[in-house]
Amino acid sequence: MLSLSKLLSKAIVFVFGIFVALQLLGCGGNLTSTSTPPPPPAQPTASITANPAAIAVGQSSVLTVASNNATGCTGTGSLAGTAVPLNGTISVTPTATSTYGIKCTGAGGSATASATVTVNPIPPTVTLVTAASDKPSITTAQTATITATVQGTGAFSSAVSWTATNGNVSGTGDTVTFAPTAVGIATITACSSTIGFTTVCGSTTVTVTAVPTVSLVTLTGVPATLQVGQTAQLGCIVLMSNGTTAPGNPCTFASNNSAVASINATTGVLTTVAAGTANIVATSTLNSAKSSAPATLTVTRATPTITSVAVNNAKDSWIFCPISCNKAILGFTIYGSGLQAGDQVSFSGYWPTVTLTAANIASDGTVVIGGTTFGGMNIGANQPPNFIYFTVVPQDGTPQSNTVAYAYLDGYNSASHGPNGELLNQYMGKAYVWQNASGSLTNTLSFDVGGGGINTVYETDGTNAYFVTGLAIYGLDGTGLSGTTSDGWALSGTSAENGTAIVVQPGGNEVTLYHPDANQTSQANRVPVGVMPYTSVMTTINGNTFGFVASVDGTPTLWKIDTNGITVGSAPLTGFTSQSDINATNRFLTGGWPMAVFHSGTAAGKVAVVSTHDKSLLLYDGTSNALPLLKTIALPCEIPWAVDAVDSTGQLVVACIKVAGFTDSGTTFLSIDAATGNVTTLTSVSVHAPNGFPLGFLADANNLYVFSALGAPDMQPNK
């Protein structure tokens, strides 16, 4: 018996033999076989429909796309460039008839389809007609403008036809004029008039009232009084019978006295001509029979006005009064307008008022005061500094004129250095102390020193400063110093040093020495110093205190005195013109003699004296009793007005005033080297006193200080 394994082996061989035989039969030369090929890919299909297929302009149609056996579709025709789905919809809004095509492709080829959307024009249709009036209400004498507005669709026509009640329409087109024929409510209608269209109408109403009449005319804007030369704008109010006010200014104007007040009939501008009265009337242009009640206008003379003042019989363009100018001003010419005979001219207390006569008033309206009518004017130490105030006071009740200040120069420098670096000045009976800190000036002390004369501040004695006013001397604490008012002479030119004060008394041809202490100042002795001593300075030389005094009449002389009142030296003020000679030449003083002294530094002991009239500076060696003249320096300026010495720089600074028409046109400064005499103009520095001419001037190494009539000093760099 065969084993199982052998049986399996034989079975496998048998099967393999059959497989080989079959293969041989399929591949043998005499054997044949047949097979069926696969079917081809299906052909794509495409369709597109439009719903609706016909639309009007502005409407939309929906395209429906369907495809089979396609892998993608593209647009053609009006869909070119548009993404097309295999199956879906596309919304289109053509403005004209359009054909929309698609092409769908797949493995079996491609298919196309198209649909046309017909676009029909909108039929012309009028949908709305409105009418509007430019006036809701008119009178029977007025007209209204009526405007129609037509709205519609398509190429509609805007032509309208017009009808009206209670009136007539004139004109054609969409804008016409309505003229009423009766009082009441007028209806104006506009209708579309295109043939073949449905008629559409719109209307508006206008209220028509009777023409109102003028009830009342009121004149407005008439002042009770005006001055000659003034104007006024008049008007009128016209009240109508219907309670309304006529618009605009429907009036004409008239004056019954055009010699007093004339008026422009149309504009209502009134102009006064002369003093007197005039009646003004307004008449309605709507009814010439209706006029206002007359308004009475009183015209008075014009308030006089002063524009400027000039000095008569003057040889110089300015006045300088160092002590007292007897009859310095012989007369004035007042320039202005409106001055009349009978008016009074006041001179701010200098002189009695002058009543004008016809002889005073020139043909051009200027007023000349002078000669025997005026009698001359004195200016001296008892007048307020720098100004004469002119005012015209009419005697007929007309308001007084404006006040004009005429400026002149006094002869005193009302400022000095304080004992501890302060700056001191005076004005109109008031003493001021200023402290210079951080480049600005602060007023630290002020007090009354009495009097209304030319007030002056002078040098210090190291402990106190002295303020001189009129006939009295005041210390820095405001206390009056004893023994200074009994002489009866106006005081000037005071200086002080180391317990001694020199007070110059020009009228007495002497100076008085005082020895102040902590409690009082007692009068010491008087020292004669030539004719008309004017200014003084004091300083300490080699431990001894000396005063230097300039006498300016007779033979102008510089004097040196000690604290015991002994004259230790003198020298002529070479080249200086005396006061008497100045007076004889110019009728009034044009002189001043400011002084300065160096207390320390390389120029210590040098004394400077300036002649305003001669425009020169003399520099003396005060350390020698012979007082040798070191330099004569010409000063290139119009009015050398004040001088100060700067110890630390050896510099003299001279203040020069420029005058134009009796007003300060600028204070400039000269710098003088005491060693060489070289003069430099500080061209970059120029100050103006806000009220008249400057009243004081000081210098230090850093700054220049100019004291004016009011306000803090003007401080500029000392360059």
- Inform me whether the pLDDT recorded for 372 exceeds 80: no
Give the whole-angstrom CA distance, residue 37 versus residue 696.
Answer: 135
- 524-544: average pLDDT: 85
Q: Do the Cβ atoms of 158 and 175 come closer than 8 Å?
A: no
The residue ranges of DSSP E strands in 315-371, in sequence order, are 320-321, 324-329, 331-337, 344-346, 354-355, 367-370
Instruction: For 21-36, write each residue's pLDDT tens digit.
Output: 555 555 444 544 567 8
103: phi then psi, degrees, rounded to nearest 5: -135, 120
Residue with tokens 């206002």: 292
Among the listed ranges 139-143, 461-465, 515-519, 604-608, which one has the minimum average pLDDT value? 515-519
List Cα–Cα distances, 674 to 184, 549, 596, 621, 677, in angstroms. 106, 20, 12, 11, 5
SS3 100: strand
Using CA atoms of 490, 493, 494, 495 in order, give the dihedral in degrees to the nearest 10.
-170
Nearest to 641 by CA among 696, 702, 570, 712: 696
CA 489, distance to chain mean position in Å, is: 51
- Inform me whether the pLDDT recorded for 323 exceeds 80: no
Q: Do the Cβ atoms of 544 and 568 come closer than 8 Å?
A: no
Q: Tokens at residue 449, please?
A: 């020193």
Give the pLDDT score at 193.
72
Instruction: For 383-412, write each residue's pLDDT tens digit.
Output: 444 566 778 888 887 888 887 766 555 445
**What are the DSSP calls for 636-659, one per residue?**
-SSEEEEEEEETTTTEEEEEEEEE
Q: pTM value?
A: 0.52
- Greatest mean pLDDT among 298-312, 323-337, 573-587 lies in 298-312
| Structural domains for the chain | 45-120 (2.60.40.10), 125-209 (2.60.40.1080), 214-300 (2.60.40.1080), 305-409 (2.60.40), 411-717 (2.130.10.10)
Residue with tokens 């647009």: 75
The β-bridge relationship of strands 175-180 and 167-170 is: antiparallel
Query: Average model confidence (pLDDT) for the chain?
Result: 79
Q: Do the Cβ atoms of 68 and 44 come closer than 8 Å?
A: yes
DSSP state for residue 696 in the 8-state scheme: E
Give the pLDDT score at 311.
65
Q: Tokens at residue 578, please?
A: 């005396």
Q: Tell me, what amino acid is at 578?
A: S
Instruction: Name 45's bridge partners.
Output: 68
Q: Do the Cβ atoms of 291 and 304 come closer than 8 Å?
A: no
Give the pLDDT score at 641.
80
Give the pLDDT score at 29.
46
Instruction: For 343-353, write each residue's pLDDT tens digit.
Output: 888 876 555 67
Instruction: Name 456's bridge partners.
Output: 468
Instruction: For 697-707, write each residue's pLDDT tens digit.
Output: 788 877 877 77
Nearest to 394 by CA among 331, 310, 305: 305
- 621-648: average pLDDT: 92
- 468-493: average pLDDT: 54
245: phi then psi, degrees, rounded to nearest 5: -105, 130
Q: Do the Cβ atoms of 195 and 268 come closer than 8 Å?
A: no
- Inform me whether the pLDDT recorded for 382 exceeds 60: no
Give the pLDDT score at 384.
43
Give the whole-angstrom CA distance, residue 86 versus residue 34.
Answer: 41
Whether omega before 250 lies within 30 degrees of 0, making that bond cis, reads no
Give the whole-angstrom CA distance, residue 661 versus residue 244.
Answer: 61
Give the pLDDT score at 269.
96
Give the whole-angstrom CA distance, residue 84 versus residue 288.
Answer: 87
Instruction: For 411-438, write each residue's pLDDT tens digit.
Output: 455 677 776 777 877 765 677 788 877 6
Give the whole-angstrom CA distance, residue 217 versus residue 593.
Answer: 76
Burial class (CB in 10 A: 0-12, 13-18, 19+), 159: middle
Give the whole-angstrom CA distance, residue 480 versus residue 516.
Answer: 12
The β-bridge relationship of strands 184-192 and 423-427 is: unpaired
Instruction: For 586-627, write each residue's pLDDT tens digit.
Output: 544 445 788 899 999 999 999 999 988 889 999 999 999 999
- 64-69: average pLDDT: 94
Nearest to 516 by CA among 531, 489, 497, 494: 497
DSSP state for residue 40 in the 8-state scheme: P
* 695 — pLDDT class (breaks 50, 70, 90): low
The residue ranges of DSSP E strands in 223-289, in sequence order, are 225-227, 231-233, 235-240, 251-255, 261-263, 269-272, 276-284
- Greatest mean pLDDT among 188-202, 265-279, 336-350 lies in 265-279
* 378 — pLDDT class (breaks 50, 70, 90): low
Q: Do the Cβ atoms of 652 and 669 come closer than 8 Å?
A: no
Q: Tokens at residue 61, please?
A: 């149609």
Q: How many CA atoms lie within 13 A of 662 on its CB side?
A: 18
Using CA atoms of 303, 309, 311, 317 in order, give the dihedral in degrees to the nearest 10.
-170
61 compared with 511, residue with greater pLDDT: 61
384 compared with 497, residue with greater pLDDT: 497
List Cα–Cα distances, 557 to 478, 530, 531, 683, in angstroms. 34, 7, 9, 33
Give the pLDDT score at 124.
82
- Inform me whether the pLDDT recorded for 1 exceeds 50: no
415 compared with 165, residue with greater pLDDT: 165
Among the listed ranges 157-166, 278-287, 651-660, which one has the minimum average pLDDT value? 651-660
- Within 526-626, residue ranges assigned H as helices are 579-586
- Inform me whether the pLDDT recorded for 14 exceeds 70: no
Among the listed ranges 122-131, 173-182, 488-497, 620-629, which one has the minimum average pLDDT value? 488-497
Using CA atoms of 386, 387, 388, 392 in order, give the dihedral in degrees to the nearest 10.
170
350 compared with 569, residue with greater pLDDT: 569
User: What is the longest distance spanned by two Cα atoms in the chain?
Assistant: 193
406 compared with 61, residue with greater pLDDT: 61
